[in-house]
Chains A and B, each alone.
Chain A
């Protein structure tokens, strides 16, 4: 536990003493802020338009913030995060490989999982800060409109879980190389592949279609954004994360044998 904490602290210092964390948080906030603005304004205009026409009064009753603002917003945030997370994780191991500090870590009495978790939690911490800042949008929604809390909480949980899954892959690809860019590109490639995997389901039949859509990383996000918690989706993201971290550990372990 203490070792995980030591690694975690060290990584946090590294994140915030370089421009990386600040850059990522800024870019994230600018992009997600813009998406929020677009969604919110579009919704407001639509409401005004519908309200002006009495014959649409039935539709007016169906409009709600959770469905028409929050849901697209959380999808858009997912895409932003998909782009940013490989850049958040890229230096975690590749930099150690390059600087030779991996030799220090691997010759210290540390368990492989202690290194893996220390680094993973540090990247998760930065990601959580990003998410926390975007809570500003929620305050705006809550103070100017009526919204159910259910979808807000599940959307956040969904974003947190999908972020964990992304981070675990980013961590893994960073162990494979000394080059940060290689780590980021590889991580992004793998994540994007899982992202678009579900698209293939439309062209396939039967079992294959089922398999593709159930492996797809976006397919499982749907329920969270609707405000529904399904065990299957939670388990999907958790096991995705676990597999990512397990691969990270295996890759670390294999440094003993390669070179």
Chain B
């Protein structure tokens, strides 16, 4: 349904997206995962035809986004990061306006507006001015806007931002309900969100695709990761320390950074289980005649886990 081929987008000297390729099949829900400024929004904007690619091509339903933009725009529903609403219109007249410019036939207008409001549970505020609604409601109006013409393809940029927990669950269920009948790309930086709604995840960082995987595989990888942090001094050879640490069974990787001010080395070690590995690590450090200043274990927060994953996957690719 969506074919992104070697897509590159530069803003002046800055490359926001570099040589990205991926496919989304019909009826699939794909999560676009990445930290802020990873290039998620830029990629989505190119798919929707809002921006032109610097290089590469994007095809939606067989139409080239750049060459046949009109055809593509007809079948895409798009929710940008900030819901594109007019504060001085009422919810109903806003949705009617959107349905009109999206090309919904006049006789279906009311029906599709009501349906979109029902799906997003905003019928009770239909007559209110959008400017007077809370952020959560505005977000849902934005979502209703993307659904109003019943598009084949939905591009949702962080659809659950600004919603309260119950609303988040509602929106996730709504998105899950779109599976099979719609093709969905949604972006997020919240990991559980993808595992709950998406059938496939594309991980993007600094404009590059780092991994494509199913959420199940992804969470499995995350769940087993823990870190041990060490602060040591008296290190004469970084590489040797690195070797010593990585030679321990159970250690996945180690990052060593030198701190100029207090002449210490900080090592972040990714392990399977900190409980099993900590004693051996401590022994090795002592045996190497290094001074151990601090040793702490931490379970990865989701954000850290994500960054780890980003780093390890980069390492894998290089090998």
- Bound pair: A and B? yes
Interface of B, helix, strand, loop or mixed by DSSP = loop
Distance from A20 Cβ to chain B, minimum over Cβ atoms (Å)? 10
In this assembly, does B78 line the interface, its C-beta being within 8 Å of a C-beta of chain A? yes
Task: Return the CB mask of A158-186 against B: 1 if under 8 Å, else 0.
Answer: 00000000000000000000000000000
Given known pairs A7-B101, A107-B49, A109-B73, the reply for A99 and B89 (CB within 8 Å) is no
Please determine whether A103 and B84 come into contact, CB atoms closer than 8 angstroms: yes
**Residues in A whose Cβ lies below 8 Å from that of B280:** none
In this assembly, does A202 line the interface, its C-beta being within 8 Å of a C-beta of chain B? no
**Residues in A whose Cβ lies below 8 Å from that of B275:** none
| B 74-114 contacts with A by CB, 8 A | 74, 76, 78, 80-89, 93, 97-98, 100-103
Please determine whether A10 and B70 come into contact, CB atoms closer than 8 angstroms: no
Please determine whether B86 and A14 come into contact, CB atoms closer than 8 angstroms: yes
Size of the B side of the interface (Cβ < 8 Å), in residues, is: 30
The residue that A99 contacts in the complex, of B50, B70, B84, B100, with Cβ under 8 A, is B84
Distance from B126 Cβ to chain A, minimum over Cβ atoms (Å)? 16
**Residues in B whose Cβ lies below 8 Å from that of A18:** 88
Please determine whether B52 and A107 come into contact, CB atoms closer than 8 angstroms: no
Please determine whether A9 and B86 come into contact, CB atoms closer than 8 angstroms: no
**Closest residue of chain A to B77, judged by CB?**
A107
| A 1-49 contacts with B by CB, 8 A | 2-3, 6-7, 9-10, 13-14, 17-18
In this assembly, does A239 line the interface, its C-beta being within 8 Å of a C-beta of chain B? no
Please determine whether A257 and B88 come into contact, CB atoms closer than 8 angstroms: no
The residue that B101 contacts in the complex, of A3, A100, A256, with Cβ under 8 A, is A3
Please determine whether B101 and A13 come into contact, CB atoms closer than 8 angstroms: no
Please determine whether A17 and B84 come into contact, CB atoms closer than 8 angstroms: no
Given known pairs A100-B80, A109-B73, the reply for A6 and B51 (CB within 8 Å) is no
Please determine whether B86 and A109 come into contact, CB atoms closer than 8 angstroms: no
How distant is the Cα of A146 from the Cα of B73 in the complex, in angstroms?
A: 59
In this assembly, does A105 line the interface, its C-beta being within 8 Å of a C-beta of chain B? yes
In this assembly, does B43 line the interface, its C-beta being within 8 Å of a C-beta of chain A? no
| A 67-119 contacts with B by CB, 8 A | 99-110
**Residues in A whose Cβ lies below 8 Å from that of B81:** 100
Distance from A164 Cβ to chain B, minimum over Cβ atoms (Å)? 25
The residue that B84 contacts in the complex, of A3, A101, A110, A259, with Cβ under 8 A, is A101
Query: Which 9 A-B residue pairings sit nearest by Cβ, starting from the closest?
Result: A104-B84, A6-B100, A109-B73, A100-B82, A101-B84, A107-B48, A108-B101, A17-B88, A256-B52
Interface pairs (11), CB distance under 8 Å:
A2-B100, A9-B97, A100-B80, A100-B82, A103-B45, A104-B80, A105-B101, A107-B73, A108-B98, A109-B70, A256-B52
